[in-house]
Structure 1
Amino acid sequence: TPDGAAYIIFTSGSTGTPKGVVIEHRNLVNYIWWAARVYSSGERLAWPLFSSLAFDLTVTTLFTPLITGGRIVVYLGDPGIQSMVVLKVIDDNAVDIMKLTPAHLAMVRDRNLETTRLRKFIVGGEDFKTELARSITKAIPGPVEIYNEYGPTEATVGCMIHRFDIDRDHSASVPIGVPAANAGIYVLDNAHQPTASGIIGEMFIAGDGLARGYFNRPDLTDARFLTVADPQDGFSRLRLYKTGDLARWNSEGRLDFLGRADHQVKVGGARVELGEIEARLLKHPHVQECAVAAIAATVVTPATDGIARLVAYYVSSKPLTVAELRAHLAEQLLESMIPTHYVRLERMPLTSNGKIDRSALPEPTAKNIQPAQDFAAPSTETEKRLAALWCDLLKVESIGRDDNFFGLGVHSLLVMRAVARMRETFGVDVQLRNLFERPTVTGLAEVIDGMHWVAESRAPLVSEGPREEIEF
């Protein structure tokens, strides 16, 4: 019956605690008939089945070809490297359409796609960066359709869609577009009122795709599935799902996805959107995949009082220096958005469902963090004393004469402490602007030595002593 349970998918979401989402037959039928119309368009396509049955992605791949006379090609993954099976699909070249995550698509990009049979890609599960969509479009000769499908498990696989347009889509992420069949999409403020175009709010979903709720979790169901006054008329009651995702309507009436609300972090008092940093990092010609995380600074520099530091994890086609990466990011991002630490990985850790496994990203340590440049030991007496001062402040073993203090995790509180310590140690008043203009041991040592030289040059050559009047 329409209100009978079709399946339960357990999902951890952003909390890490699995919860079962109960999808009813009415929800499934609503989504699959819409997907068949949009993706198959009357064609009998071959689809690859390579992902877990406990994943939304598989729902599309399994049921859509079955109701359209299509064909399913089943691929088995190797134990322990299930995420790599997507490469088998590409190399086999036996399917016409493929649904996959952005992380999987990033792996596909490195394959030779000049003779691929694939002509349609449905991308979902995570924020889909425009640069990735652009590179896939250019890699495949002839027309190719790339769809960004958005939808949490609680809204039955997908409830919004956008077909990527290489000429029109220039924002950091591919828009998630317009509502799917019988779906209501709302961007609301904290008072559950609609936001204006261009204003960020939280996404709420209504319509026939909404799940029954969470299996044996009435408390969680009540917290996430809300019944409120209809935001459009203010009188009738409407059942909404609170997604926890941030979005805004753009000037064309399409929805821009801005990532999870819990992926917005505060660093040094400034609110930072991690997705924006990742989008800019992916524009570097040699960066293939990346993830940015806010890590407690005490992991790397114990003296920073727990203030979070941004760490960029990336996979690249060639070794890159920190200076190159910082310069690339600085072209478009504020200083507060530029990661402090950089960790190069052979490949991104993925969950069994093909999403980046952020919990498996390695903890930044002195061994895996890339140095800003080759280490050069302090040479002059001033440089050695200054390096010892900063080592004590940052609680690190050594600092090179050319290391940038801010790249090592310095924040505003430490800046003030450093100025006071330099006054005590060297007997000169180093100004804040000196530290920002010359943020290295070498640079500050030159400033301090210069202050000493000026002070000495102004001193009298002999002591004046008591005055004695002499008449001539």
Structure 2
Amino acid sequence: PAALAVIEGEQRYSYDALNRRANQLAHLLRARGVRDGDSVAIALPRSIDLIVAELAVVKAGSTYVPLDAVLPLDRQAHMLKDCAARCIITRSGLAAPEIGGRVELDRADTRAELARQSEHNLATAIDGSACAYIMYTSGSTGQSKGVQIPHRAIERLAINNGYLDLQAGDRFACAANPAFDASTLEIWVPLQTGAAIVIVAQDDVMVPARLAELIGEQQITGMWMTVGLFNQYAPALGGALSQLRALIVGGDVLDPHIIGEVLRNHPPKRLINGYGPTETTTFAATYDISQVVPGRSIPIGRPIGNTRIYLLDGKRQPVPIGVAGELYIGGAGVALGYLNLPELTQERFIADPFAPAGQSDARLYKTGDLGRYRADGNIEFLGRNDFQVKIRGFRIELGEIEAKLQALPHLRETLVLVREDHPGDKCLVAYLVPQEGQAVPDAAQLRTLLLQNLPEYM
């Protein structure tokens, strides 16, 4: 209980202190009418408050829904309506959608109410199949879709996972957007293994030299980085990378040249390629990178613990080694489905025809990702079979942008593509056909209109 759980600047919380604070907030939520299975939105930046809030919602038997602060408020409001959020946990100075139940942690009356709550654990019974959180991702119809992740999936990511052996004494950086599933790794894996979470402020994330300094000062031993951030920061982080016991990089295809430079100059003890969609809880496969083979891509590796991956053809039959197939992912990490989207859930989450005996209810997630087995058993990623893309670690459905453009006046047809005029420099480009007799709006005007409904990165 006295072990270090969370570090934020000069603040230090032990596991005992963190548990007591989370219990108080959980008791307050129950007192305000939150019940088992309710959704509770969280609009907080990376902070001890965020960790406390996520723990409290789970302790109350509810489902937490992290909101991305950079999203337009209308888009956030849609998410709250879609998940029927009972309340929202936030701070008074933060922009967040209006909702009846509001818990502002920095208000004096809220702090006084929290102080009156019990610090003891709640008697809530939590089933492994119950929904722990809902995370919204880009949707091809123009609306984001909520992915429902069960408790058992988080446990599978953290315990006996086969890819990351965190233990007491380790310190894992928390630098991801709380509304992206990398935060599941950064928060729940340390908490379930006795390691400590180190909150990385946004100002430190934005400046490579400050991030390198923080890694040294806080003795960080583990970290996740998107491919885009890694490619930009690797030269500047330099020797700080060598301090890490494990550096996981993913979210897009790795650049063998940059990986090779890091391995030669400042290798962490383990450099890991992490692959997995939100629908399978952060990671489905990983690969320990020890060398770069000229002319070959870096594989995504093999399934992590309690995970199955099949490469299937168009008839959902296994493909031979070396032949391209679509990745279907099974095991404990598979999501419950998409909230309020039964048809899409049925399309993408299918019965597992290869399930072990006694697991007749097992399902596979149809990823849309293409890959092939190498002779050594590792999987090589080959791309997508649809119009979903990854840019700077952000998962984007091109159809969502097209739908928003199509809804604007004076436009008859729209097409959005990814261009990569220079290697590694991807950008979104929209092609527009105006209505007869109408002029195409200028780019600045279009961006302003789209920002009312889409995040800045789209």
**Smaller-chain TM-score bracket:** 0.5 to 0.7
Higher relative contact order (CA 8 A, sep 6+): 2
CA distance in 1, matches of 2:250, 2:139: 15
CA distance in 2, matches of 1:51, 1:310: 24
User: Do structure 1's residue 113 and structure 2's residue 235 form an aligned pair?
Assistant: no
- Preserved CA contact (<8 Å) 1:177 1:255: yes
CA distance in 1, matches of 2:240, 2:208: 17
CA distance in 2, matches of 1:194, 1:132: 34
Q: Which residue of 304, 315, 321 corresponds with 1:197?
A: 321
User: Do structure 1's residue 244 and structure 2's residue 374 form an aligned pair?
Assistant: no
Q: What per-residue deviation string (whole Å, max 9, x for no partner) do you get for residues 7-47 of structure 1?
A: 00101167764110000111111111134x63235452111
CA distance in 1, matches of 2:301, 2:283: 12
- Preserved CA contact (<8 Å) 1:246 1:260: yes
Q: Which residue of 217, 220, 224 corresponds with 1:99?
A: 224
Aligned to 2:350: 226
Q: Which residue of 301, 311, 314 corresponds with 1:177?
A: 301
Relative to structure 1, the CA distance from residue 61 to residue 315 in structure 2 (aligned partners, 3 Å threshold; closer, same or farther) is: same
Aligned to 1:124: 250
What is the TM-score of this pair, normalised by structure 2? Answer: 0.54
CA distance in 1, matches of 2:361, 2:235: 50
CA distance in 2, matches of 1:194, 1:232: 16
Q: Which residue of 66, 69, 86 corresponds with 2:191?
A: 66
Amino acid at match of 2:266: I
Q: Which residue of 117, 133, 139 corresponds with 1:7?
A: 133
| Superposition deviation, residue 5 in structure 1 | 0.9
CA distance in 2, matches of 1:164, 1:121: 10
Structure with the larger strand share: 2
| Superposition deviation, residue 86 in structure 1 | 6.2
Q: Which residue of 164, 179, 191 corresponds with 1:54?
A: 179
Report sequence identity in percent: 32
In our comparison, the structure showing a higher alpha carbon Rg is 1
User: Do structure 1's residue 144 and structure 2's residue 266 form an aligned pair?
Assistant: no
> Aligned runs of 1:311-326 on 2, under 5 Å?
311-314=419-422
CA distance in 2, matches of 1:225, 1:6: 18
- Preserved CA contact (<8 Å) 2:158 2:193: no
CA distance in 2, matches of 1:86, 1:27: 33
Q: Which residue of 212, 216, 226 corresponds with 1:90?
A: 212
> Aligned runs of 1:207-226 on 2, under 5 Å?
207-226=331-350
| Superposition deviation, residue 222 in structure 1 | 0.8
CA distance in 2, matches of 1:245, 1:15: 19
Relative to structure 1, the CA distance from residue 41 to residue 170 in structure 2 (aligned partners, 3 Å threshold; closer, same or farther) is: farther
> Aligned runs of 1:424-463 on 2, under 5 Å?
none
- Preserved CA contact (<8 Å) 1:44 1:65: no
RMSD across aligned positions (CA): 3.6
Relative to structure 1, the CA distance from residue 132 to residue 362 in structure 2 (aligned partners, 3 Å threshold; closer, same or farther) is: farther
- Preserved CA contact (<8 Å) 1:97 1:120: yes
What is the TM-score of this pair, normalised by structure 1? Answer: 0.53
| Superposition deviation, residue 211 in structure 1 | 0.6
| Superposition deviation, residue 112 in structure 1 | 4.7
Q: What per-residue deviation string (whole Å, max 9, x for no partner) do you get for residues 337-356 of structure 1?
A: xxxxxxxxxxx5xxxxxxx6
Relative to structure 1, the CA distance from residue 112 to residue 253 in structure 2 (aligned partners, 3 Å threshold; closer, same or farther) is: closer
**Unaligned 5+ runs, structure 1:** 265-273, 279-292, 294-305, 317-347, 349-355, 364-472
CA distance in 2, matches of 1:44, 1:248: 38
Relative to structure 1, the CA distance from residue 112 to residue 104 in structure 2 (aligned partners, 3 Å threshold; closer, same or farther) is: closer
**Unaligned 5+ runs, structure 2:** 1-126, 392-397, 399-413, 432-458
Relative to structure 1, the CA distance from residue 16 to residue 153 in structure 2 (aligned partners, 3 Å threshold; closer, same or farther) is: farther
CA distance in 1, matches of 2:221, 2:374: 32
> Aligned runs of 1:404-443 on 2, under 5 Å?
none
CA distance in 1, matches of 2:229, 2:415: 33
- Preserved CA contact (<8 Å) 1:188 1:195: yes
CA distance in 1, matches of 2:306, 2:322: 24
| Superposition deviation, residue 115 in structure 1 | 5.2
Amino acid at match of 1:105: F
Q: What per-residue deviation string (whole Å, max 9, x for no partner) do you get for residues 347-389 of structure 1?
A: x5xxxxxxx6x43x698xxxxxxxxxxxxxxxxxxxxxxxxxx
